[in-house]
């Protein structure tokens, strides 16, 4: 029996499937991609389900072309998405930069696996988080979200589309193999309860319209191909007309705006979850699947009399630096478990105001045991006592 065009209610599905359903629920009607483990289930689901809602699925020849197709579909008016994993994510970086420079809203899902190169196609890692921030060349800001469950794969894919359309840029969903393949209950609310992405369409007369003239929040209105407006879309440095203007003053004005439209709104973009933070001496900073392990370690530490708390990063980028700086004034130390050899821990160190920061690093393939994180919490507690005496 075929599924209805719009799903609601309780379902048992994996994170990849939930990601696809979140995209469909918020109006995604174009998907271009190339199969790659462990993200292929997203493409398979979209291939089967998009025709049910009047959408278009296209398998491209590679990830470079997939990203290009998604950008083009967005300029034609579609909420568009692609999904990939590490090697494909690398191939998408050039056109990710194109999307940032042309301010093209779309969503890119990276179901992370172990690397570098072909690495561990069927095993998890969290080693793409710095590539997500800095993978394309030049100066820019990015928005990246990290789900910890199939339910959040659904919810955060919707949030990614909302951010993409509001701030006009590609938004990343940084999942991983475990979350992507984990089977759990996913609750899909009625359609009228789902927040839909809204594109800020051009309102000026065609003769007066400047495609890259910013509104008060530094985000321009968007005219679509076929609307009758004169638009010029280029990856070159461009003026407010969209015309190439390769000089230092135009570069300074354009790129600074691309950066500031995210930085000025970071407080609205950054999402975190906190557990036992109010009186925490040791703050564990974690994200994605690792945060689920860290939650147990924090509870066990509390059982041993160590006042540990969890700061879960839902938004990876922009980084929650204001909150980490605030916590560094009241906590004694930080612990950062992640499935890489030290990426997000550097951001915590940058904002920790000299507090000890203890990494719990793994090259991927297997999750840390809660006991490893618990041991790190106890080491951090000892370092915090020494640090307090020195201060």
Q: How do the pLDDT tens digits run along the chain, 391 residues long?
A: 456 777 999 999 999 999 999 999 999 999 999 999 999 999 999 999 999 999 999 999 999 999 999 999 999 999 999 999 999 999 999 999 999 999 999 999 999 999 999 999 999 999 999 999 999 999 999 999 999 999 999 999 999 999 999 999 999 999 999 999 999 999 999 999 999 999 999 988 888 899 999 999 999 999 998 889 988 999 999 999 999 999 999 999 999 999 999 999 999 999 999 999 999 999 999 999 999 999 999 999 999 999 999 999 999 999 999 999 999 999 999 999 999 999 999 999 999 999 999 999 999 999 999 999 999 999 999 998 776 544 5
Using CA atoms of 358, 270, 149, 362 in order, give the dihedral in degrees to the nearest 10: -20
pLDDT value for 1: 45
pLDDT value for 385: 75
pLDDT value for 390: 46
DSSP class of residue 193 equals G
Other CB atoms within 10 A of residue 214 CB? 18
Contact predicate 95/67, CB 8 Å:
yes
**Taking Cα atoms as reference points, which of 26, 17, 74, 80 lies closest to residue 49?**
17
pLDDT value for 2: 59
Taking CA atoms, 308 is separated from 114, 305, 377, 381, in Å, by 29, 9, 7, 9
CA atoms within 13 A on the CB side of 264: 11
Q: Quick one: CA dihedral 159, 161, 166, 172, positive or negative?
A: positive
Give the homologous superfamily in CATH for domain 9-193: Thiamin diphosphate (ThDP)-binding fold, Pyr/PP domains (3.40.50.970)
What's the CATH fold of domain 273-390? Rossmann fold (3.40.50)
Taking CA atoms, 17 is separated from 10, 86, 179, 331, in Å, by 14, 19, 11, 39
Contact predicate 351/324, CB 8 Å:
yes
- Whole-model pTM: value is 0.96
DSSP class of residue 50 equals G
Please report, for the chain, the start and end positions of each structural domain, with discontinuous segments joined by +: 9-193, 273-390
Could you give the CA distance from residue 367 to residue 143 in angstroms, rounded to a whole number? 25
Strand-pairing partners, residue 170, are 106
Contact predicate 298/309, CB 8 Å:
yes
DSSP class of residue 27 equals T
Contact predicate 107/171, CB 8 Å:
yes
């Amino acid at each position: 029996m075929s599924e209805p065009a719009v799903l609601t209610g309780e379902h048992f599905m994996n994170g990849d499937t939930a990601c696809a359903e979140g995209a469909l629920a918020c109006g995604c009607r174009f998907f271009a991609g190339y199969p790659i483990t462990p993200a292929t289930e997203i493409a398979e689901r979209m291939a089967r389900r998009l025709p049910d809602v009047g959408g278009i699925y296209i398998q491209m020849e590679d990830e470079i072309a997939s990203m290009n197709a998604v950008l083009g579909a967005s300029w034609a008016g579609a909420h568009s998405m692609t999904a990939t994993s590490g090697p494909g994510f690398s191939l998408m970086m050039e056109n990710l930069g194109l999307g940032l420079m042309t301010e093209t809203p779309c969503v890119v899902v990276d179901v992370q696996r172990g690397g570098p190169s072909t690495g561990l196609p069927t095993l998890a890692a969290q080693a793409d988080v710095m590539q997500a921030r800095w993978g394309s060349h030049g100066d820019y800001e990015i928005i990246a979200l990290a789900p910890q469950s199939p339910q959040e794969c659904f919810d955060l894919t919707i949030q990614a589309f909302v951010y993409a359309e509001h701030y006009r840029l590609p938004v990343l969903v940084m999942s991983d193999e475990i979350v992507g393949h984990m089977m759990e209950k996913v609750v899909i609310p009625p359609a009228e309860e789902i927040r839909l992405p809204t594109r800020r369409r051009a309102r000026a007369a065609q003769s007066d319209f400047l495609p890259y003239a910013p509104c008060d929040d530094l985000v321009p209105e968007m005219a679509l191909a076929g609307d009758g407006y004169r638009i010029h879309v280029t990856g070159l440095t461009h003026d407010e007309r969209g015309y190439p203007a390769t000089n230092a003053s135009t570069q300074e004005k354009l790129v600074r705006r691309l950066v500031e439209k995210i930085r000025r709104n970071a407080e609205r973009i950054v999402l975190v979850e906190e557990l036992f933070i109010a009186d925490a001496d040791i703050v564990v900073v974690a994200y994605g699947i690792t945060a689920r392990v860290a939650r147990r370690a924090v509870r066990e530490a509390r059982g041993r009399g160590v006042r540990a708390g969890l700061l879960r990063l839902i938004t990876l980028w922009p980084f929650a630096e204001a909150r980490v700086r605030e916590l560094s004034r009241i906590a004694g130390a930080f612990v950062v478990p992640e499935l890489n050899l030290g990426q997000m821990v550097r951001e915590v160190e940058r904002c920790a105001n000299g507090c000890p920061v203890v990494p719990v690093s793994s090259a991927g393939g297997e999750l840390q045991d809660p006991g490893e994180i618990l041991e790190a919490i106890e080491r951090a507690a000892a370092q915090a006592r020494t640090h307090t005496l020195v201060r």
